[in-house]
Amino acid sequence: METESLGATAEQQPEVVEADNGGTMAEQQPFLEGKKMMNVLVAVDSDESLHALEWVLDKLLKYNGGATPQTAEQEHSKLVTIVYVIEPLPRYAFPGGYVVESASKTQEQNGVRILSRAFEMCRDKMVKVKTLILEGDPKDRICRAVDEMNFDLLVVGSRGLGQIKRAFLGSVSDYCAHHARCAVLVVKPPKKPY
Amino acid sequence: MEDKQVMVLALDESDHSFYALDWILTHFFGSSSNNSFKLIIIHAKTSPVSVMGFGGPGSTDVLHLVETDLKKTAEKVISKAKDVCSSRSVTDVQYEVIDGDARNVLCDAVEQFHASILALGSHGYGAFKRAVLGSVSDYCCHHARCSVMIVKKQKPKQKP
């Protein structure tokens, strides 16, 4: 079940070049003047990942927030999609249906809250953004979304877990860094002031 | 003029690295007015001892030859990178060749240049190869103090 809530300007620019993720193309795109359209997928799961989003907006899309109006071509050169994946709870783990119901409702509400915060952040920086809620195992779902929707860059946060914690808790960002078919940007948490 | 963010790009002689260079230039250095990054390209030159291990008699001569060969490779990599950059009219680039193991070189370079992004290509090894051959991108992902961008060469999608 996918619920897609579109941002304010949700229509995508018609692609001026053929998608570089499609088919059998292994070589680089022919270089066009002006920036090529870049589809960026930002995976968020919690408030900490919003830091990753903020970092991306600041560093990668800095010029979009500039005072001078950019040409129409440059404005549409990066499309950001923010995705939140809901992991369905195993029904067998909880006796009685209502626990699962309320837990998944909480998850959904959480997702909506985080996505709306994220959407606000993007809107403040005047970036075109789309939000998406997907359901399933986060690692697989994100990698599949990259394939299906032809993203050029996947941005994930990283909680800075050590080796052992990573092995036990599982790391979505680790999995995505290895298995996603596009470029992956792992954003580290800010250094804590000591 | 505000300070530019620094992006460090790691290059070795493989195709994957140059694909990463291409990709980065296309997406981040597309039009000259939008250069919000200063690009520093780093080639890590491994030391001949680590390549050869401890040899038997006559190894000193071989050591010399290996060192020369490594130097030549480094020069080739840097000049090819210079060509690619200038053909894309990207001029604000710094090139460095640093001795040592790629993993450490890159993480140190991030500190040294205060980079905000470290970009690398990836050989796309599976889990087993990664465990045996080691993966620089893996190491950097975990240990670099800045955000890490791993650029992969697209595998042709298998048609069903």
Per CB-CB distance under 8 Å, the chain B contacts of A18 are none
Q: Which residues of A10-27 are buried (b: 16+ CB within 10 A; e: fewer)?
A: eeeeeeeeeebbeeeeee
User: Could you tell me the strand order of the sheet in which A153-157 lies?
Assistant: A3-5, A129-135, A78-86, A38-44, A153-157, A183-187, B147-152, B117-122, B5-11, B37-45, B93-99
Residue A55 to residue B147, Cβ atoms within 8 A: yes
Could you read off the pLDDT of B7-51 as tens digits, one per residue?
A: 999 988 888 889 999 998 888 887 654 567 889 999 988 877 776
Residue B148 to residue A185, Cβ atoms within 8 A: yes
Residue A25 to residue B117, Cβ atoms within 8 A: no
Could you read off the pLDDT of A135-185 as tens digits, one per residue?
A: 888 888 898 998 898 889 999 887 766 666 655 555 788 888 888 889 999
Residue A38 to residue B34, Cβ atoms within 8 A: no
Residue A24 to residue B157, Cβ atoms within 8 A: yes
Tokens 């359901």, residue? A135
ipTM of this predicted complex? 0.82
Copy the structure tokens of residue A42: 């930002």
Spatial CA neighbour of A157 closest among A188, A178, A119, A131: A188
The answer to whether A157 and A127 have CB atoms below 8 angstroms apart is no
What predicted TM-score, i.e. pTM, was given to this entire model? 0.76
Spatial CA neighbour of A114 closest among A45, A14, A63: A45
Provide the β-strand partners of residue A133: A3, A84
Q: Is the pLDDT of residue A7 over 70?
A: no
**d(C-alpha B149, C-alpha B146), whole Å:** 10
CB-closest option in A31, A55, A183 to B152: A183
The answer to whether B62 and B43 have CB atoms below 8 angstroms apart is no
Closest alpha carbon within chain B to A163: B142
Q: What percent of chain A has pLDDT over 70?
A: 59
* B123 reaches A (C-beta below 8 A): no
